[in-house]
Amino acid sequence: MARDERRARGTRSAGRTSGEAGAPTGGIREVARAAGVSVATVSRVVNGTAVVRDETKRRVETEIARLRYAPHAAARSLITNRTSTVGVVLPDIWGEYFSEVIRGIDLAARQAGYHVLVSSSHSDAAETRDVLRAMNGRVDGVVVMAPHASPRALSSAMPAGLPSVFLNSAPGGADAPSLSVDNRGGARAMVAHLLALGHRRLALLNGPGSNRDAAERRRGAFDAARAAGLAAESVLEIQGDFAEESGRVAGEELLRRSPRPTALFAANDSMAIGALYALRRARAAIPADVAVAGFDDVPIARFASPPLSTVRHDIRSLGERALARLVAEIDGRGDGLPAREVLPFHLVLRYSTEGIDTETTTEPSRPPRAGAPTPEPTTDRRRKAR
Amino acid sequence: MARDERRARGTRSAGRTSGEAGAPTGGIREVARAAGVSVATVSRVVNGTAVVRDETKRRVETEIARLRYAPHAAARSLITNRTSTVGVVLPDIWGEYFSEVIRGIDLAARQAGYHVLVSSSHSDAAETRDVLRAMNGRVDGVVVMAPHASPRALSSAMPAGLPSVFLNSAPGGADAPSLSVDNRGGARAMVAHLLALGHRRLALLNGPGSNRDAAERRRGAFDAARAAGLAAESVLEIQGDFAEESGRVAGEELLRRSPRPTALFAANDSMAIGALYALRRARAAIPADVAVAGFDDVPIARFASPPLSTVRHDIRSLGERALARLVAEIDGRGDGLPAREVLPFHLVLRYSTEGIDTETTTEPSRPPRAGAPTPEPTTDRRRKAR
DNA sequence: TTTTCGCATGAAAACGGTTACAGAGCGATG
DNA sequence: CATCGCTCTGTAACCGTTTTCATGCGAAAA
């Protein structure tokens, strides 16, 4: 059946001068026959790997154009063992975040001469493994973001000898390099900002329990609380799931509390925006009654009402860096480089915590050394044009 | 050089019981040797293409797991002539629009058992051709969106015999099927809506001249104007480039005009939002002084101030349909299907034209027959919850 | 003239799978 | 006991390239 299909696609064309109509291979061989040269010569013309006499070359090029010949990538990579393609494995191609990661990867890949093979929406570890399997032989390496799977499980799911880079994975265990957003540092800085504004009754709106980013953001928030001398018990924790709706629910929940928290830090912007919605609906003044902050700086954060203070991390550059690192790995230049890289973040302070209508942004935090606590970035108030 | 790399990656392991350490092939052959069977048997176990004795199967599976063997996709697709991959060629993975298309494609692809190979940010026709070339042999078919290239040029750039589907390309010329958003119908309906509100002095904010979507939206707008008996000369046209900034500039321009237009239709939401910004800044009342409408219904349209009336077309389903069509093409079931499909749209009416704080949405317009003019959808005012 | 190059080209061996075909083993049937 | 049929497994051809190695040929060197 597959065989029949194949035959069906072969570009049939009778032999040239010699009348033999047999073997309509339809690939490089057909070009070779048409141009009256050997396949080796055609290959040399296509790749420019050796010098070919001018007239021969022209003849070959003519036939290539006429037959619309394009080399079969699979065959080529079988022998060269290079695909010029990198794989990207993501939980989803969902909304702002992931599409931005992909975009960063794609941009960098293009520049480095690689294609990008995406695979997304795999929910569990088994599916991730299958996807990684399927990538073997069609990519030179993979960028993997699997917030659920343990790095150990991930490493063992990796086909033997396939270069890889992990995104936002847990620190230890894996033997592949990994890049991360500074979840902990960002959350720490934002909560420190809230506390510096005088807030003492803090609410935390957490992300899904299984999500690593969420867990680290929570940890960062507690770092800051502890540093400011706040008892862990005095922090109200509400469970969310990163979706806007759960933020709305949490906003209502918060309002019902009798010593009502005066500041809410949500583990991502979607939830923060949901909470803003609920709070405004209940006529709570923001930030006078409740200050709200999020994480990610998604595009609509700026347009929320009121505009949302948040932690910006450059998602695109996360993708770009990941790709650069992967290419290094593929080229065998990866050994000298650090196994773990943490990307800087900015604090973006807007009306929802500041109560004034301009936007201030901190310097990008220098990437912290792995594990070392990040001191709060010194929030220098440069007014930004818009 | 390439050869050395290849050697370097081969999983080296000494032969088993028989002491011969030679030929560390590291693929299916190594598994076969380790399990004491032939490669054919291993292949059968991997693919389940034939029945294998239970005990043999177990032995093979053990070795596969132990050696972390994953079949080499390139080798496999060389013989089967199937890659289980579809290519997607886009101008960019830019923002809301394209990421949503990709998402639709990816979702559908996953379900149909295909991988997705993206290639983006190719700017000119030559680059598109190279990209398409490079896809040959690594995909079973391609979805191409190339708003700049002529369909004729595109067809001729296509490697011989590669199934393809075009997105938003010009109607004629190509022999591949194409899917489109109903740009003309959507614009026509929105402008008809503006005119129905009583506006007579209309401004059009056009997209970039080379862009086909932009041109069709413009045409649709003029359809509606003509139908309402408006002279073409009385319509103010302003040139934009789809970017928010150009909308801002256009807004200022509009304000300077002495018979000031009372309604602005922008060819996309970004520009509409830029215009809103400029108008509000100049203290123009919206929609009392100037009504504003856009196209696309990007997520922030709802959050703009005031919320923006716009034309929604389901971008994700554009991707999904495109993929479904491509798969049909790949499976050879494409011949009976229509060569051109136009997707329905909705009118989403918000404050920026209506002046009231709720949102109404029309029924999805039935997909028009190719070329036939779309009558304005009957705007039934069902209030939507949110 | 013969030898020695260098250049342009061709023949054939890989690459790692899949699969048509043949064959071995073995119980059932005539 | 010979034959058949069934189940399982192995051998080898093939997919479309790249690349090594050999070769023919004309010009330069001896």
pLDDT, tens digit (0-9, with 9 covering 90-100), for B92-101: 656 667 878 8
Q: Which among B78, B81, B119 is the nearest to A115, CB-wise?
A: B119
Domain boundary among B148, B176, B204: B176
Express each pLDDT in B333-362 by its tens digit.
Answer: 888 888 889 999 999 999 999 988 778 887
Question: Considering only alpha carbons, which residue of chain B is nearest residue A8?
Answer: B161
Largest CA distance in chain A: 94
Express each pLDDT in A243-282 by its tens digit.
Answer: 889 999 999 999 999 899 999 999 999 999 999 999 999 9
Q: How confident is the model at residue B384 (pLDDT cuts 50, 70, 90)?
A: very low
Residue A352: inside a domain, yes or no? yes
Q: Which nucleotides of D are covered by protein (CB under 7 A)?
A: 7-12, 14-20
Domain encompassing residue A283: 183-313+343-361
Residue A255: inside a domain, yes or no? yes
Express each pLDDT in A228-250 by its tens digit.
Answer: 999 988 899 999 999 889 999 99
Same domain, B29 and B94: no
Same domain, A220 and A347: yes
Rg of chain A over CA atoms, in angstroms?
A: 28
Name A residues 47-76 whose Cβ lies under 7 Å from strand D: 47, 49, 69, 71-72, 75-76
Does the pLDDT of residue B309 top 80, yes or no? yes
Q: In this predicted structure, what is the pLDDT of residue A40? A: 95
Same domain, A51 and A98: no
> For residue B94, what is the domain's CATH number?
3.40.50.2300
Q: In this predicted structure, what is the pLDDT of residue A171? A: 64
Under an 8 A CB cutoff, do B71 and A136 touch? Answer: yes
CB of A78 nearer than 7 A to strand D? yes
Residue A331: inside a domain, yes or no? no
State the average pLDDT over residues B41-69: 93
How many Å apart are CA B78 and CA B70, to the nearest integer? 16
Does the pLDDT of residue A54 top 80, yes or no? yes
Same domain, A154 and A57: no
Q: With contact defined as beta carbons under 8 Å apart, do B319 and B145 qualify?
A: no
Q: In this predicted structure, what is the pLDDT of residue B4? A: 34
Is A213 within 8 Å of chain B by CB? no
Averaged pLDDT of chain B? 84
Same domain, A28 and A64: yes
User: Could you tell me which of B315, B313, B301, B314 has the C-alpha nearest to residue B353?
Assistant: B301
Same domain, B31 and B102: no
∠ CA B98-B99-B101, nearest 5°, is 60
User: Could you tell me which of B238, B291, B243 has the C-alpha nearest to residue B264?
Assistant: B291
Token reading at A206: 């957490």
> How many structural domains is chain A composed of?
3
**Side-chain half-sphere of A72: how many Cα atoms within 13 Å?**
20
Same domain, B167 and B98: yes
Express each pLDDT in A150-167 by its tens digit.
Answer: 777 777 888 888 899 999
State the average pLDDT over residues B353-378: 65
> Looking at residue B370, what DSSP letter applies?
T
The nucleotide lying nearest A52 (C-alpha to C1') is C8
Does the pLDDT of residue B22 top 60, yes or no? no
Residue B230: inside a domain, yes or no? yes
Same domain, A196 and A64: no
Under an 8 A CB cutoff, do A304 and B299 touch? Answer: no
Question: Considering only alpha carbons, which residue of chain B is nearest residue A87?
Answer: B117
Q: Which of A133-137, B284-288, B382-386 has the lowest mean pLDDT?
A: B382-386
Express each pLDDT in A327-354 by its tens digit.
Answer: 999 998 888 888 889 999 999 999 999 9
Residue B380: inside a domain, yes or no? no
Under an 8 A CB cutoff, do B158 and A68 touch? Answer: yes
Cβ neighbors of B235 (< 8 A, separation 6 or more) are B202, B203, B204, B221, B222, B225
Domain boundary among A71, A100, A115: A71
Instruction: Tell me the chain B residues in contact with residue A106 when contact means C-beta distances shorter than 8 Å.
Output: 93, 118, 120-121
Does the pLDDT of residue B1 top 80, yes or no? no
Instruction: Tell me the chain A residues in contact with residue B305 when contact means C-beta distances shorter than 8 Å.
Output: 303, 305
How many Å apart are CA A318 and CA A297, to the nearest integer? 14
Of residues A173 and A139, more confidence is placed in A139
How many Å apart are CA B237 and CA B324, to the nearest integer? 38
Q: In this predicted structure, what is the pLDDT of residue A124? A: 74
> For residue B49, what is the domain's CATH number?
1.10.260.40
Same domain, A241 and A354: yes
Q: In this predicted structure, what is the pLDDT of residue A5? A: 35
Does the pLDDT of residue B258 top 80, yes or no? yes
Of residues B244 and B303, more confidence is placed in B244
Q: How far is A82 from chain B (nearest CA, A)?
A: 8
> Looking at residue B383, what DSSP letter applies?
B
Instruction: Tell me the chain B residues in contact with residue A80 when contact means C-beta distances shorter than 8 Å.
Output: 2, 6
Q: How confident is the model at residue B314 (pLDDT cuts 50, 70, 90)?
A: confident
Does the pLDDT of residue A19 top 50, yes or no? no
Domain boundary among A154, A176, A198: A176
Does the pLDDT of residue B23 top 80, yes or no? no
Residue A379: inside a domain, yes or no? no
3-state SS of B190-251? HHHHHHHCCCCCEEEEECCCCCHHHHHHHHHHHHHHHHCCCCHHHCEEEECCCCHHHHHHHH
Same domain, B210 and B357: yes
- Cα-Cα-Cα-Cα dihedral of A181, A185, A186, A190, to 10°? 170
Residue A142: inside a domain, yes or no? yes
Q: Which of A58-67, A93-102, B76-85 has the lowest mean pLDDT?
A: A93-102
Q: Which among B82, B117, B136 is the nearest to A2, CB-wise?
A: B82
Q: In this predicted structure, what is the pLDDT of residue B375? A: 44
Residue A323: inside a domain, yes or no? no
Q: In this predicted structure, what is the pLDDT of residue A22? A: 31
Same domain, A350 and A277: yes
∠ CA A21-A26-A31, nearest 5°, is 90
Same domain, A266 and A353: yes
Other residues' Cβ atoms within 10 Å of the Cβ of residue A336: 6
Q: With contact defined as beta carbons under 8 Å apart, do B368 and B374 qualify?
A: yes
Does the pLDDT of residue B64 top 60, yes or no? yes
Measure CA to C1' and name the residue nearest C19. Answer: B40
How many Å apart are CA A161 and CA B11, to the nearest integer? 7
Does the pLDDT of residue A23 top 70, yes or no? no
Is A118 within 8 Å of chain B by CB? yes
